[in-house]
Structure 1
């Protein structure tokens, strides 16, 4: 039995009312009973092109029928309480059914990016040892099924069950529903999801969140029951990013369940298709990266054709002028910061009225400060200096440490990472620097972690450096971000070569492909140097390399 929170934590959050021990699948079942004929979910319009399956739209009762068939199959295959299912699907109805069916079978789901290859999946499987791997047959010319079979043959996957997307689609339509399908063996303290996050280490970290963790978000989203809730019953919610991490689960899937909404799926991101979905499906709430918001505003595409009530921006700091322009159009802008570990700050009109300040700052729940938006009354955050001392003065900058009913208890099967990330008082130290604006607000300042943010994908530089050093021509390597207007950052590799050798970017990319590394992690800029600048302890001086990148980038 995997229960990661200690008894005292569980008792406290339950007694205070923040956790109600209602699982996500039970919340979904309540929606089925309440709104059986409401449209629950809509496939991407280009589904046929990316999966060879037909686009569908299902009511709540139709979706639940599919979920029960999928869960029956999982149970017959030995997937039950505490078992983990690894899933590599695009944003289609089948992925959402996988979430719900895994929970219906009392198991744990761990979704991963479509871009991941054998290199990343081996690391994942060494940590969670999944009992089943659901995988897309092929995607953009890559044979995912062959990769899965190879991994299984190499004993990298402890799975006797590999299920393709096309097989899963048929299973959920035709498999016989078990007589005991309504029996359940989980409660709110059981793990619902294991997402994957990057830090300074080379290995990805497994971030587990329980049903109670996710259920806590009802205080943010449910306007009918909780002061400061931002969504109404039946909202039409669009997901434009891969349904594998906090952005899509916490700002898409979970609020959809909480408010019994309609979920509009999109994949891969295409601004034209997504805009048409916003119009055609009458989307009322979604999350976009700031670059897309800027583009749509400049093209005049936020107009009367849209029914958006709330628009969240995340993954990068939004330009304040976009908040002002959206508000003029009757759309309430939201500023979001969060991590897979169960951290989240949401600047809404309910807590920061001034639009430009809302774009720059977040609520700072600390020292018993009371909020009209009750979501924040369960949290306690502190800003600390490198020695762990709390900072309290305006203008001071330090690392944000976070404690709330939303936050995970620790990394899954990775105690070495848990020890590094939590302080002695149980605060999760986020690795992000924030600046104190005033007594009630803080603003994002910079990342402490040595990672690259490429289009929302977090890339640990240590992982890429370790891979580069395996190349027979490379003696030493260091990796930093290269600024990019569209994606934010690209991977820039500084390398020291063996005497008498040379290398170009194509050779480096071929090497990464041979190592079965996800394409988004491949170096896109290459700088050959005589030596990597290092301090007396041997640590690469990334500040010097970043200055060099600024100099080189200015010439392009």
Structure 2
């Protein structure tokens, strides 16, 4: 299934931005060229996460496992352009699921492990997913149980579970003839680098998450930026603590890993003690971490005792402002450069590296003004990712420092449109074809060479790098029998960037508390755990303007 317009594909290929290589082509290349090298290493706490011992695969072993899983999926009737729902933590089977599906041309729609029936039923309904791969139990929760009632033809589980086929047993039973049949089906499907590979999910102002389809080419160009920013060489070792369900995880730990043919060391869920132990055990070249974690490590250097900084030269971060002191500390003590990212599933790709923003104080909050004429940056996407700032009220383009404007983006990193949502897609792009990011920036720097993020136009909360729709949570809260009115905003948080804060007007005589409301959200409404209310404010009435719109800026001003 190709969703990118043919003229865009032709332009991107003519300019050398896109090519003919798929992610499966990269897999096959590494299986041939580095068969005995380590490819995948499970988290050390895999048994606690999903109930089996950790695994370690070479590229040869990975290739064989991918073939077996592709045969299982083919035998279940999945073919090119069918959709496979995958809900797994960062374990070997997650990478296998992506690659086996890609071999057949099956589209993967990954779901965070925190998603529950409410989110999963929406994904299945909107994608028509035919099958799912999940864990029998993930972190103590019955994940198969929440899929049984959905319109899926097949459920495969890591571990035994009622109503699911155990994945390991299914793969072990595959015959050479079945592998050959799956390979023949893949060849007949004539999969290209422009075919959709994934549908990831992002929350905006709409009540339901939006599906963001991306092709192999759209993923691989993002990965080029990651590889360059991290200064990664072929065979590099990556420690990945980000869930492989959206831009941050997939661009680095799937597409980036495949570009360099390195070793992917998985981590999940985020646990600083486990991550530090992995950094000591494995000589890594690159990892990513939230700003609050890096601040903690900078403030307490003893935590990093025993870590080999001979190979580790860069650490990626983002989703919240960085600290100048932290950036300085990592470079002065260890020679490690902190890379500041600002990205999105739709294709936003701003990146502050030491080459382009050498001053730590500037790199903490500024990004190169890529796509603007007159500047030449080391970041390799500089000549193919285009930006402009626009006054959202007047559509006037902003070219002078100090004025806030919405970032509009265009280029081969930017997706073609939301999954089966033409009206949303039409609203998301302006008349000239620029994507409206909903992010507010200003031009900064002594030469007007930088962008500085100043806020969001969209009503979303970014909690630990994950977008949460305020409107979605408000809709659930208004269904609570003790709630008369509700508004949800992000409460500033040093560790996660923002947490979910609800302002509630109770019904007469009622006094709802946070524990009861969260039980309602996760129990009756079956929403993901990370969308629970973390701060509750009770009010006699919500502030509104003359036409009745809630004044969320006034609510945010009360949060300290």
Superposed pair shares fold, TM > 0.5: yes
The residue that corresponds to 1:341 in the other structure is: 346
Q: Deviations over 1:388-419 (max 9, x none)?
A: 21111122221111112111100011112211
The residue that corresponds to 1:454 in the other structure is: 463
- Alpha-carbon distance change, 545 to 259 in structure 1, aligned in 2, over 3 angstroms: same
Stretch deviating more after TM superposition (262-271 or 176-185)? 176-185
**Partners of 2:223 and 2:267 in 1: how far apart?**
24
Give 3-state SS (helix, strand or coil) of 2:146's partner.
helix
1:45-64 mapped onto 2 (5 Å cutoff): 45-64=44-63
Aligned partners of 1:290 and 1:317 also within 8 Å: yes
How many angstroms does 1:485 deviate by?
3.2
- Alpha-carbon distance change, 428 to 303 in structure 1, aligned in 2, over 3 angstroms: farther
Aligned partners of 1:490 and 1:524 also within 8 Å: yes
1:260-271 mapped onto 2 (5 Å cutoff): 260-271=261-272
How many angstroms does 1:248 deviate by?
0.9
Aligned partners of 2:230 and 2:316 also within 8 Å: no
The residue that corresponds to 1:21 in the other structure is: 20
The residue that corresponds to 2:422 in the other structure is: 415
What TM-score does the superposition give when structure 2 sets the normalisation length? 0.93
1:458-477 mapped onto 2 (5 Å cutoff): 458-477=467-486
**Partners of 2:525 and 2:242 in 1: how far apart?**
26
1:242-321 mapped onto 2 (5 Å cutoff): 242-300=243-301, 301-302=303-304, 305-307=307-309, 308-321=312-325
How many angstroms does 1:174 deviate by?
4.2
Stretch deviating more after TM superposition (121-130 or 167-176)? 167-176
The residue that corresponds to 1:554 in the other structure is: none
- Pairs aligned (count): 539
- Alpha-carbon distance change, 130 to 536 in structure 1, aligned in 2, over 3 angstroms: same
The structure 1 residue matched to 2:337, chosen from 319, 323, 332, is: 332
Aligned partners of 2:18 and 2:217 also within 8 Å: yes
**Partners of 1:373 and 1:455 in 2: how far apart?**
25
- Alpha-carbon distance change, 102 to 54 in structure 1, aligned in 2, over 3 angstroms: same
- Alpha-carbon distance change, 507 to 219 in structure 1, aligned in 2, over 3 angstroms: closer
- Alpha-carbon distance change, 32 to 350 in structure 1, aligned in 2, over 3 angstroms: farther
**Partners of 1:286 and 1:58 in 2: how far apart?**
20
**Partners of 1:482 and 1:229 in 2: how far apart?**
31
Q: Deviations over 1:303-339 (max 9, x none)?
A: 5622311111112121112111111211122111101
Stretch deviating more after TM superposition (180-189 or 291-300)? 180-189
Q: Deviations over 1:271-330 (max 9, x none)?
A: 011011112111110111011111112221345622311111112121112111111211
The structure 1 residue matched to 2:510, chosen from 501, 507, 513, is: 501
Give 3-state SS (helix, strand or coil) of 1:26's partner.
helix
Q: Within the alignment, does 1:164 sit opposite 2:157 as a pair?
A: yes
**Partners of 1:79 and 1:507 in 2: how far apart?**
42
The residue that corresponds to 2:207 in the other structure is: 202
Aligned partners of 2:81 and 2:106 also within 8 Å: yes
Stretch deviating more after TM superposition (417-426 or 265-274)? 417-426
Q: Within the alignment, does 1:482 sit opposite 2:488 as a pair?
A: no
Q: Within the alignment, does 1:34 sit opposite 2:28 as a pair?
A: no
**Partners of 1:443 and 1:199 in 2: how far apart?**
21
Q: Deviations over 1:74-118 (max 9, x none)?
A: 111111111111111111001010011110111111111111111
What TM-score does the superposition give when structure 1 sets the normalisation length? 0.93
**Partners of 1:454 and 1:366 in 2: how far apart?**
29
Q: Deviations over 1:497-525 (max 9, x none)?
A: 22222222222122112211111111122
The residue that corresponds to 2:395 in the other structure is: 388
**Partners of 1:41 and 1:311 in 2: how far apart?**
20
Give 3-state SS (helix, strand or coil) of 2:90's partner.
coil
The residue that corresponds to 1:238 in the other structure is: 239
Stretch deviating more after TM superposition (268-277 or 344-353)? 344-353
Aligned partners of 1:66 and 1:173 also within 8 Å: no
The structure 1 residue matched to 2:536, chosen from 516, 526, 530, is: 526
How many angstroms does 1:140 deviate by?
3.0
Give 3-state SS (helix, strand or coil) of 1:65's partner.
helix
- Alpha-carbon distance change, 358 to 147 in structure 1, aligned in 2, over 3 angstroms: same
How many angstroms does 1:229 deviate by?
7.8
The structure 1 residue matched to 2:191, chosen from 186, 189, 192, is: 186
How many angstroms does 1:252 deviate by?
2.3
**Partners of 1:427 and 1:100 in 2: how far apart?**
32
Q: What RMSD over aligned residues (CA atoms) do the two structures have, in Å? A: 1.7
Aligned partners of 1:221 and 1:258 also within 8 Å: no
**Partners of 1:221 and 1:147 in 2: how far apart?**
35
**Partners of 1:44 and 1:176 in 2: how far apart?**
30
Aligned partners of 1:246 and 1:339 also within 8 Å: yes
How many angstroms does 1:251 deviate by?
2.4
The residue that corresponds to 1:542 in the other structure is: 552
Q: Within the alignment, does 1:322 sit opposite 2:308 as a pair?
A: no
Q: Deviations over 1:435-489 (max 9, x none)?
A: 1014332121112221122222221110011011111222211111223333332
**Partners of 1:528 and 1:333 in 2: how far apart?**
41
Stretch deviating more after TM superposition (435-444 or 482-491)? 482-491
**Partners of 1:483 and 1:132 in 2: how far apart?**
39
- Alpha-carbon distance change, 373 to 344 in structure 1, aligned in 2, over 3 angstroms: closer
Aligned partners of 1:67 and 1:100 also within 8 Å: yes
The residue that corresponds to 1:553 in the other structure is: none
The residue that corresponds to 2:139 in the other structure is: 140
**Partners of 1:26 and 1:60 in 2: how far apart?**
13
**Partners of 2:330 and 2:544 in 1: how far apart?**
46
Stretch deviating more after TM superposition (94-103 or 480-489)? 480-489
